[in-house]
């Protein structure tokens, strides 16, 4: 049975039907309780096969991160397991297994009040409610009491007790306690959810879903970090690390996967492959696996060529004895192995090709806020209060802070969309600013990708436009599709392509990694690292901030900005040390 735990990257693949023991599994893992088993699971939608021949076992203590490019089938894998709705194969749950599922599209009623939403029970209580209701219906029938009804009554009492222990009798009360930990308890229970920010609604959905998890065996999470600020992310990481059941998490947040997961499953070409360890460990193992696989393919090809040459020499010498037959058998076996090795080699996707060229260099001092202040009537606290900060040429700054603190507002001040109440913002001559909006508002959603690019480069011929879009993974069909019908990730790629074509020397980026899969993030990080202009980026992606930034601006929420040299991890280390020394 294929497990998502291997010590040797090549051990994860072997021909169908083989029954090899896995190497490197600890004794503790070998005796862990099995919760879910998948055997040769297939899932398709019409002619599109999304999952094929998937084998997987989930045990107690597993923290499995599920990764893969957008559209590879990560969410489908979770839904197929959760609903047990595979087309072919077997999905087996342990007896009385309880499963909770935090979906990517949050299960939340925007028209409800906060109090009404918190009183709704999540997926983790549905099975209990259904079984309790079924027993209650049977109890209403007089014939129920004709037989041995005591075991059923014992089960009914057990279910009621489990519901109470899980917090199902007071979901709102338990969820409110979680909201306190997430700093959202100040909101009235009568407030409408559609008046809350995206980050606040994400917290509400999260709080309701986390109620009763101490009685849950398996918890599925699909992109749980979307819209969460750093404080909430760190709280969630701590919560999940204390959770005693198994976790299966789809996420593009590489920092989160490093802190929470002990196994990684990659979904690619409708198959899965598992690696022990966190995301950073996965990267190292995959590199070794691919190098080992390429070496074996090359070695096998050379062996086939050598054997074929030897057999030809024998034939020319009229040596038709047993050795020719042996050579033929060896060639057939090597060709079979080569075919298998090539079949397990992941298909190479066309990678994004960024080549960010800055315009002529600006002066050494790019921009400066002097005693800058800004307030909004709707907010009791100021956005900025007598702030003094500056940006030097080539500096790469990450802007962080809680949701609603004014990070995007800071970018809009620089672009001139907003003005200060008092103080000054000086931008040096020669600074050419490019702005990546979080909601891609620089794009005309009625246009196709090719028309959007043509707006910037009207003299570029169709072939050049098509080649450029191809470098950004746009197919022939996609280039003629209106942007309104494309995914968030596809629109993000067009917005990034605009930045590439504009040739700026100062980039303002508002959540540039949202909607991008890991390959696209890595390509963007490499391009931004090599970009010799300046960058100010608002981001909740801590891995991205580590790769790109050399300075952190921490918006405190009281109108101040604290400047920290270094990337996010260095900021975090220094800020903790600073707090401990107070």
> In the numeric block, which tokens belong to residue 316?
């020319």
Residue that the structure tokens 């891995």 belong to: 543
Residues contacting residue 183 through CB under 8 Å, at least 6 positions apart: 231, 402
Residues contacting residue 42 through CB under 8 Å, at least 6 positions apart: 49, 51, 52, 53, 54, 86, 87, 88, 89
Check residue 320 and give its pLDDT: 62
Angle at 67 between CA 63 and CA 69, to 5 degrees: 170
Check residue 2 and give its pLDDT: 41
Q: Can you name the residues that pair with 365 across neighbouring β-strands?
A: 392
Do 446 and 484 touch, CB atoms closer than 8 A? yes
Q: Which residues of 258-271 are buried (b: 16+ CB within 10 A; e: fewer)?
A: bbbbebbbbbebbb
Check residue 579 and give its pLDDT: 64
Check residue 557 and give its pLDDT: 85
> In the numeric block, which tokens belong to residue 329?
């058998």
Rounded to whole angstroms, the Cα distance separating 280 from 255 reads 9
Element (H, E) at 77: helix 74-83
Rounded to whole angstroms, the Cα distance separating 453 from 201 reads 35
Residue that the structure tokens 């849950």 belong to: 216
Check residue 15 and give its pLDDT: 34
User: What does the pLDDT look like over 511-550, one tens digit per residue?
Assistant: 888 878 888 888 889 989 988 889 999 999 999 999 999 9
CA nearest to 208, candidates 64, 109, 133, 66: 109
The number of angstroms, rounded, from the C-alpha of 74 to the middle of its chain's C-alpha atoms is: 10
Over the chain (582 residues), the average pLDDT of each successive run of 10 is 39 34 40 89 88 94 92 89 92 89 67 67 59 73 74 68 51 60 63 69 74 78 84 88 92 94 93 94 94 94 90 75 80 92 82 67 85 86 93 94 87 93 93 87 86 85 83 82 82 84 88 84 89 92 95 92 94 78 59
The number of angstroms, rounded, from the C-alpha of 144 to the middle of its chain's C-alpha atoms is: 50
Rounded to whole angstroms, the Cα distance separating 128 from 84 reads 18
CA nearest to 499, candidates 464, 533, 475, 543: 533
Check residue 163 and give its pLDDT: 53
Rounded to whole angstroms, the Cα distance separating 519 from 346 reads 14
């Amino acid at each position: 049975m294929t497990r998502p735990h291997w010590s040797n990257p090549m051990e994860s693949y072997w021909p169908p039907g083989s029954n090899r023991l896995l190497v490197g599994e600890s004794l503790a893992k070998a005796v862990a309780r099995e919760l879910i088993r998948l055997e040769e699971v297939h899932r398709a939608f019409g002619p599109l096969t999304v999952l094929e021949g998937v084998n997987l076992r989930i045990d107690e203590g597993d923290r499995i991160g599920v990764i893969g490019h957008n559209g590879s089938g990560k969410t489908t894998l979770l839904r197929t397991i959760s609903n047990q709705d595979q087309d072919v194969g077997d999905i087996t749950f342990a007896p009385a297994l309880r499963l909770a599922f935090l979906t990517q599209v949050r299960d939340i009623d925007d028209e409800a009040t906060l109090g009404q939403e918190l009183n709704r029970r999540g997926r983790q209580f549905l099975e209990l409610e259904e079984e309790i209701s079924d027993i209650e219906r049977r109890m209403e029938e007089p014939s129920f009491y004709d037989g041995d009804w005591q075991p059923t009554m014992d089960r009914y009492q057990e279910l009621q007790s489990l519901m109470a222990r899980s917090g199902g009798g007071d979901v709102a009360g338990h969820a409110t306690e979680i909201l306190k930990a997430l700093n959202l308890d100040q909101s009235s229970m009568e407030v409408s959810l559609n008046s809350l920010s995206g980050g606040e609604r994400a917290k509400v959905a999260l709080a309701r879903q986390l109620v009763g998890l101490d009685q849950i065996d398996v918890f599925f999470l699909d992109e749980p970090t979307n819209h969460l600020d750093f404080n909430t992310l760190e709280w969630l990481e701590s919560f999940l690390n204390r959770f005693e059941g198994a976790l299966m998490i789809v996420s593009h947040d590489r920092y989160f996967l490093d802190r929470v997961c002990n196994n990684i499953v990659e979904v690619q070409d409708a198959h899965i492959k598992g690696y022990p360890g966190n995301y950073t460990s996965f990267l190292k193992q995959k590199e070794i696996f691919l190098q080992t696989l390429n070496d074996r393919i090359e070695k096998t090809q050379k062996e086939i060529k050598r054997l074929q040459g030897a057999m030809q020499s024998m034939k020319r010498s009229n040596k038709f004895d047993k050795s020719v037959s042996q050579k033929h058998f060896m060639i057939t076996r090597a060709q079979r192995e080569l075919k298998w090795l090539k079949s397990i080699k992941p298909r190479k996707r066309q990678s994004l090709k960024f080549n960010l060229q800055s315009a002529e260099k600006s002066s050494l001092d790019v921009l400066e806020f002097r005693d800058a202040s800004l307030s909004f009537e709707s907010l009791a606290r100021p956005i900025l209060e007598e702030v003094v900060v500056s940006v030097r040429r080539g500096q790469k700054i990450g802007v962080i802070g809680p949701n609603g603190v004014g990070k995007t507002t800071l970018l809009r001040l620089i672009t001139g969309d907003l003005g200060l109440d008092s103080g000054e913002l000086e931008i040096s001559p020669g600074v050419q600013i490019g702005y990546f909006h979080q909601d891609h508002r620089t794009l005309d959603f009625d246009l196709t990708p090719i028309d959007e690019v043509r707006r910037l480069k009207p003299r570029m011929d169709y072939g050049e436009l098509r080649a450029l879009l191809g470098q950004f993974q746009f197919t022939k069909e996609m280039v003629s599709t209106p942007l309104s019908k494309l995914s968030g990730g596809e629109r993000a790629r067009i917005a990034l392509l605009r930045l590439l074509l504009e040739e700026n020397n100062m980039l303002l980026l508002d959540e540039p990694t949202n909607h991008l899969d890991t390959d696209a993030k890595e390509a963007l990080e490499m391009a931004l690292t090599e970009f010799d202009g300046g960058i100010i980026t608002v981001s909740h992606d801590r891995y991205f901030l580590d790769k790109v930034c050399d300075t952190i601006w921490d918006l405190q929420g009281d109108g101040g900005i604290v400047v920290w040299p270094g990337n996010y991890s260095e900021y975090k280390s220094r800020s903790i040390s600073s707090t401990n020394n107070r």
